[in-house]
Amino acid sequence: MAIKKEKPMPKAKIERPEKGSSDGSGQNLSRREKALQEIKDILLKQKESILNEAESAMNTLPEQTVFPDLGDQASAETDRSFMLRLRGREQRLLKKIEEAIERIDAGSFGICETCGEEIDVKRLKARPVTTMCIACKTEQEEEEKLQGH
């Protein structure tokens, strides 16, 4: 009768923190955690920049809304409409930034909302407000093309 040899269990891969990396509290951070903190810093700076630009732009909108010359009035209304459209885009981006910061704080940032897998750090750095991994986003865009949107 032959004795079966059991295969040793594979050892769990332990991600070692970079030497010298710390979050300021003396705790070492993994590379991913360090990258997420960098992304959070970028998002906070982007949020501040958008808010500062919005305040500045609102102060430069022409106060005069009625002009004696119809050409001047049309031009002023076009400028105002354009600035307000930009503000709308920036408001949506600001909301996405705030949601991303909330996900970082909650520990759910960088997880694809569709498949539940981790989103690659390179993608997160390129598009910090993303909520989908590249595979799921590509699939979503292909479905949208097929639907004609």
Across the chain, which has 149 residues, the per-10-residue mean pLDDT values are 44 37 54 90 92 75 67 77 77 92 92 94 93 95 87
Query: What's the domain range around 83?
Result: 29-107
End-to-end CA distance of the chain: 68
- Specify whether 76 is located in the same domain as 129: no
Coil, strand or helix at 82: helix
Q: What is the pLDDT of residue 18?
A: 41
- Specify whether 99 is located in the same domain as 126: no
pTM of the predicted structure, to 2 decimals:
0.62
> In angstroms, rounded to a whole number, what is the distance separating the alpha carbons of residues 137 and 114?
9
Asked whether residue 124 is assigned to any structural domain, the reply reads yes
